[in-house]
C-alpha cells in the first residue's frame, strides 16, 4: 500500500497503477516500465526548457559546491538572489519594480494579496480590502488563493476562508463594472490571469483586460496579473500581460521561472504599488518564507533565463504555438473535433460528442502523448524546446483516437 497522498486525488484511491516516471530528456519522459511518452503539458505547465538541460543542471551542481541555501531575512542577502531580482525586474512589464521571492505559485499569490491590501493601508486607504477575481481563474491552493479561486468546488469543505473576496463572471465586463460602481471605494485589487490556464486555457474576451486596467485606475485599485502559468515565455513574451499590452501593478510568477528544476515563485511589485508600500519608511514587511532567495533556486532561474534567451525560446513559443493551433484547427476543419481555444503555445480542443476530456486523456496517453483534461476541454502546454515533429505528434494522437 502506498503511503503517499497525491494532490487532487481521492485519499482512498489505490495508486498501484499510477504511471511511475523515472527520467526525462527534452520533451520526452521515460516510465519505470521502459515506455517513452511525449510530455504535452510541460509537467504542470512549467518545464519550458525541457528535462535534463545541461546548462540548468550544471548551474545547480556548481552551486552545491559553494552553499546550497541561507535565508535572506534582514540583515542577510546573497548575490544570486540580488542578481535574479534585477534580471526579472529588467524584464518586468512595469517600470521601477522590486521582486519578492517565494517557493511556489500559491505562496506568490498569497503574498500578492497581502501586499495589495498592505499597500492600500499604507497609502491611507485601510478600507480598501476587497479583492475581485474571475470565474474559471485558478490562483493556487493556499488559503488566500483558495479564497480568490474561481472554482466554487475548490472553495468548499475547508471551513471559513479569507473574507473580502468577490467573484465575477470571467467574461462579463459589465458585471465587473457593476461591482466597481457599487463597491469601488472598498476594492483593493483585481487578480486575473492573462489567459486562464487550469480553467481550461481560456483567452480573455477582446478588450476585457483593458477594461480591468481602466476600472482599477478609475477607482484606485491595484491590478494583479497572475503569471504563474503565462510567465516566462508561454505566450511568446516574458510575461503574458505583455501579449495584451497591459501594464499591471503587481505580477505573480513561479513554475517556468526555473522550469521546475528547483521550486521558486515570487512577486514583482511595480513602481506604483511600491510607492504605496514605501509611504511610511518605518513600516516593516512582516512577511516572508524560509526559502526566499534560496541559492539553488536562484541559480536554476538564472540558468533558465539564459537558456530562454540563447535558444530564442520566446520566439520559439510563437512559432510552435502557431503550428499547434494550425494542427488542431485542421482537426476541427475535418469535423473530428467541434472547436478549439487558446493563445501562444497553450491550446485546447473540445471533445467530440459522447466523449469527455478525461476519456480523451487516457486515449491520447495510449498513443504516447500526455494531454490534460480541464473543465470542458483537453489541452496542451508543451515545453518550449519541443520540436515541430513533436508538436505534430500531439495533433496526430488526437486525430488517431477519433
Q: Are residues 303 and 316 in the same domain?
A: no
Q: Are residues 255 and 389 in the same domain?
A: no
Number of domains in the chain: 2
pLDDT in tens, 88-126: 999 999 999 999 999 999 999 999 999 999 999 999 999
pLDDT at 236: 98
Is 3 domain-assigned?
A: no
In contact, 357 and 373? CB cutoff 8 Å: yes
How does residue 15 score in pLDDT terms, banded at 50, 70 and 90? confident
Is 9 domain-assigned?
A: no
| Domain CATH code at residue 66 | 3.40.640.10
pLDDT at 163: 97
136: left (phi over 0), alpha (psi -120 to 50) or beta: left
pLDDT in tens, 260-313: 999 999 999 999 999 999 999 999 999 999 999 999 999 999 999 999 999 999
pLDDT at 16: 82
Q: Are residues 233 and 88 in the same domain?
A: yes
**Cell numbers for 187:** 476594492
pLDDT at 101: 98
| Domain CATH code at residue 354 | 3.90.1150.10
Among the candidates 278, 310, 342, a domain finishes at: 310
How does residue 14 score in pLDDT terms, banded at 50, 70 and 90? confident
Among the candidates 293, 310, 327, a domain finishes at: 310
Is 175 domain-assigned?
A: yes
C-alpha 200/C-alpha 81 separation (Å) is 34
Is 1 domain-assigned?
A: no
Question: For 123-145, what is the mean pLDDT?
Answer: 97
Q: Are residues 46 and 80 in the same domain?
A: no
- For residue 25, the cross-strand partners are 28
Is 208 domain-assigned?
A: yes
Answer whether residue 325 shows pLDDT above 90.
Answer: yes
Buried b (16+ CB within 10 A) or exposed e, 319-341: ebbebbbebbbebeeeeebeebb
In contact, 120 and 188? CB cutoff 8 Å: yes
Answer whether residue 340 shows pLDDT above 90.
Answer: yes
Among the candidates 252, 283, 310, a domain finishes at: 310
C-alpha 152/C-alpha 140 separation (Å) is 13
How does residue 188 score in pLDDT terms, banded at 50, 70 and 90? very high
Question: For 321-326, what is the mean pLDDT?
Answer: 98
Is 8 domain-assigned?
A: no
Q: Are residues 305 and 316 in the same domain?
A: no
Rounded (10°) angle between helices 54-64 and 295-310 = 150
Nearest to 257 by CA among 70, 69, 47, 26: 47
Domain of residue 189 covers: 59-310
pLDDT at 17: 82
Answer whether residue 214 shows pLDDT above 90.
Answer: yes
In contact, 190 and 131? CB cutoff 8 Å: yes
Is 83 domain-assigned?
A: yes
Mean of the per-residue pLDDT values of the chain:
97
Q: Are residues 297 and 204 in the same domain?
A: yes
Q: Are residues 72 and 45 in the same domain?
A: no
Q: Are residues 36 and 86 in the same domain?
A: no
Question: For 225-248, what is the mean pLDDT?
Answer: 98
Q: Are residues 297 and 346 in the same domain?
A: no
Is 325 domain-assigned?
A: yes
pLDDT in tens, 367-398: 999 999 999 999 999 999 999 999 999 999 99
In contact, 263 and 297? CB cutoff 8 Å: yes
Q: Are residues 30 and 173 in the same domain?
A: no
- For residue 351, the cross-strand partners are none
**Cell numbers for 283:** 513600516
Q: Are residues 35 and 102 in the same domain?
A: no
**To 5 degrees, how large is the angle CA 382–CA 385–CA 391?**
50
Determine if the pTM surpasses 0.85: yes
pLDDT at 161: 96
**To 5 degrees, how large is the angle CA 113–CA 93–CA 45?**
70
C-alpha 402/C-alpha 400 separation (Å) is 6
Q: Are residues 141 and 28 in the same domain?
A: no
- For residue 393, the cross-strand partners are none
Amino acid at each position: 500500500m502506498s503511503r503517499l497522498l497525491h494532490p487532487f486525488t481521492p485519499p482512498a484511491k489505490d495508486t498501484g497503477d499510477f504511471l511511475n516516471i523515472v527520467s526525462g530528456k527534452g520533451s520526452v519522459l521515460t516510465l519505470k516500465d521502459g515506455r517513452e511518452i511525449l510530455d504535452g503539458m510541460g509537467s504542470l505547465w512549467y518545464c519550458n526548457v525541457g528535462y535534463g538541460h545541461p546548462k540548468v543542471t550544471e548551474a545547480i551542481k556548481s552551486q552545491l559546491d559553494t552553499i546550497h541555501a541561507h535565508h535572506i531575512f534582514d540583515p542577510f542577502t546573497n548575490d544570486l538572489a540580488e542578481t535574479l531580482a534585477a534580471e526579472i525586474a529588467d524584464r518586468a512589464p512595469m517600470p521601477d519594480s522590486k521582486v519578492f521571492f517565494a517557493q511556489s505559485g500559491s505562496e506568490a499569490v498569497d503574498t500578492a494579496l497581502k501586499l495589495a491590501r498592505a499597500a492600500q493601508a499604507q497609502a491611507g486607504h485601510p478600507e480598501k480590502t476587497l479583492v475581485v477575481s474571475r470565474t474559471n481563474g485558478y490562483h493556487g491552493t493556499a488559503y488566500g488563493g483558495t479564497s480568490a479561486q474561481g472554482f466554487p468546488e475548490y472553495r468548499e469543505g475547508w471551513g471559513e476562508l479569507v473574507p473580502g473576496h468577490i467573484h465575477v463572471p470571467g467574461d462579463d465586463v459589465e458585471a465587473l463594472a457593476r461591482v466597481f460602481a457599487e463597491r469601488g471605494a472598498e476594492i483593493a485589487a483585481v487578480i486575473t490571469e492573462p489567459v486562464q490556464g487550469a480553467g481550461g486555457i481560456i483567452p480573455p474576451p477582446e478588450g476585457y483586460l483593458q477594461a480591468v486596467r481602466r476600472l482599477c485606475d478609475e477607482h484606485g485599485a491595484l491590478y494583479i496579473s497572475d503569471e504563474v502559468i503565462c510567465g516566462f515565455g508561454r505566450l511568446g513574451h516574458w510575461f503574458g500581460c505583455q501579449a495584451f499590452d497591459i501594464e499591471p501593478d503587481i505580477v505573480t510568477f513561479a513554475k517556468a521561472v526555473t522550469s521546475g528544476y528547483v521550486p521558486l515563485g515570487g512577486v514583482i511589485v511595480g513602481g506604483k504599488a511600491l510607492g504605496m508600500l514605501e509611504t511610511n519608511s518605518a513600516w516593516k514587511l512582516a512577511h516572508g518564507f524560509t526559502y526566499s532567495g534560496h541559492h539553488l533556486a536562484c541559480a536554476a532561474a538564472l540558468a533558465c533565463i539564459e537558456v530562454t534567451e540563447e535558444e530564442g525560446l520566446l520566439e520559439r513559443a510563437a512559432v510552435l504555438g502557431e503550428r499547434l493551433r494550425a494542427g488542431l484547427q485542421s482537426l476541427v476543419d475535418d469535423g473530428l473535433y467541434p472547436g478549439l481555444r487558446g493563445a501562444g503555445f497553450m491550446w485546447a480542443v473540445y471533445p467530440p460528442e459522447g466523449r469527455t476530456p478525461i476519456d480523451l486523456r487516457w486515449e491520447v496517453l495510449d498513443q504516447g502523448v500526455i494531454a490534460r483534461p480541464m473543465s470542458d476541454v483537453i489541452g496542451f502546454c508543451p515545453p518550449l524546446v519541443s520540436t515541430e515533429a513533436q508538436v505534430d505528434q500531439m495533433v496526430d494522437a488526437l486525430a488517431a483516437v477519433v
